[in-house]
Copies of this chain bind each other. A is one copy, B any other.
C-alpha cells in the first residue's frame, strides 16, 4: 500500500508536495517534513485531489481560516450554498467545510467542491444520520457499517479532512451528567452520536472501531479532525471535566493515528472566557502531543447573538496568539439562523483579522511586515497602498467613498484639514542644529 505523507516524512523523504507547502509558508522543507512526521503539522489534501493546492496547517505555519457552508434540513437552496462557498473563497478562507444536512448530499458536496477550489472538510455523521432517517423512524437506526460506508464515500469523493466525534463516549457522557452543565452537548455531531449511544445502549463506533477509521483515512491520506463533541456551549461550562476527559481521549487517539501514519487535527471550543483560552491551547498542545489545534471561535461571551463573528474574533485572536493553528469562522448568524452570503463574508473577514492579530502578537515577521506596509501607506496618505494592505480592500474603498473628504482629497472626512498626519506634514520639526552643506562624494 502507498505510504502516507507521515510515513514518507518519517522515512526522511521530502516530497514535492512538502516543498510546495514549505515555499508557500516561507519555511524550510526539511523542517516542515519533520513536523509532519511528529504530527505537529498536517497537509490537508486527499490523495485523489492532485489538482488542489496543498494546504499546510500547524506549528510554524500561518494561521488558517475555515468557512462552513451547507444546506440545513430547513433550508435547502443549493445555488445559495454555492454562492456562499464562492464568497468564502473570495474573502480569503483557506478551507471550507460542507455541513449540509438537507437534499442530495453527495451531489451538493461535489458541487461545492467545484465551486470553491479549497481543501474540503465534512462531518460524515450528518449524512449518515440523514440516510438512516430517510429509511427509518429515527436516525438512531443507523448501523455501524452504514456509518463507515458514508465515511468511505466521503473519502472517495475527495474530501480532504473529516470531522469525527470519536471522543464522545459513554464514560465521558457520564462525567458530564454528574457534573451538571448549563448546556450539555452543543455539537450537532456530538449530540447525534450521544443520542445514538443512548438509544442503542452501545458505545460510539468511531471510538470502538477507530482502527477502521484509520485504515480508511490512510488509504486516501486524508486528515482526521477529531471533533470535540463535549465542547462547552456556554462560557460557564468551559474547561470542565467532560471537555478535558474528551481531550485526553483525543490525545490517545492522536497517538494511535500517528503510529498508523494518519494525520490528525484536534478540534477545540467553543464558548470560552478570555482568561481560559491560553490554558485551553496549552492543554491541547500538551495532551495531544503538539497536534494542530482547530478552534471554533472561541466565543468569549454568550451574550452577543447577531455579533458572534466579533465574539469569535476576540477569542480567535487570543487563541491564535496562544498557538492555535486553524480558526473555524463564526458568522453573525450563529445561534440565530443559517448564514447567508453576507454573513459568510463577514465571518471569514473577522477570522482573518483574528489570525493577523494573533500572528502579530506571536511576532511573526510576515505579520509585522504587513502592519508596516499599512502604516507606511497611512503615513504617506497613500490610499491605494492602504487598500492593498487591507484585509478587505473593496470594503475599505467603498466605505471611504461613501463620504469622501471635501477639502483635501488626501485626507478623509473624519478629520479633514485637522488630519493629524497632514498637520504634522505642514509643521515639521525644526532642524535641531544649523544644517551643514551636504558633502560632495
Q: Is the CB of A274 within 8 A of B353?
A: no
Are A337 and B307 within 8 A (Cβ)? Answer: no
Taken together as a complex, chains A and B put the C-alpha atoms of A428 and B197 apart, in Å, by: 11
Quick check: is A182 within 8 A (CB to CB) of the other chain?
yes
Cα A337 to Cα B398 with chains together (Å): 10
A375 within 8 A of B: yes
> Interface size bucket, A side?
35 or more
Which B residues are CB-close (under 8 A) to A191? Answer: 418, 420-421, 423-424
Q: List, in ascending order, chain B residues with CB within 8 A of A402's CB.
A: 337, 340
Q: So how many copies of this chain end up in the complex?
A: 2
Contact with B along A198-237 (1 / 0, CB 8 A): 1101000000000000000000000000000000011111
Pairwise interchain contact A360-B307, C-beta atoms closer than 8 A: no
* Interface 9-mer from A23-31, A106-114, A386-394: A386-394
A287 within 8 Å of B (CB atoms): no
Q: Tell me, yes or no, whether A135 is within 8 Å of chain B by CB.
A: no
Q: Within A413-434, which residues are at the interface with B (CB < 8 Å)?
A: 413-421, 423-424, 426-430, 432
Distance in angstroms between the alpha carbons of A379 and B237 in the assembled complex: 12
What are 30 contact pairs spanning A and B, CB under 8 A?
A72-B415, A74-B407, A74-B413, A75-B406, A102-B416, A177-B429, A182-B376, A184-B424, A188-B420, A191-B423, A195-B426, A236-B372, A273-B357, A274-B361, A275-B362, A275-B363, A301-B353, A301-B356, A301-B371, A302-B375, A305-B399, A307-B349, A307-B353, A309-B310, A310-B313, A310-B350, A311-B353, A314-B354, A337-B403, A338-B414
Residues of chain A touching chain B, judged by Cβ–Cβ distance below 8 Å, are 72-75, 101-102, 126, 129, 140, 173-174, 177, 182-188, 190-192, 194-195, 198-199, 201, 233-237, 273-275, 300-307, 309-311, 313-314, 317-318, 321, 332-340, 349-350, 353-354, 356-358, 360-363, 368, 370-372, 374-376, 378-379, 386, 389-392, 395-396, 398-400, 402-407, 411-421, 423-424, 426-430, 432
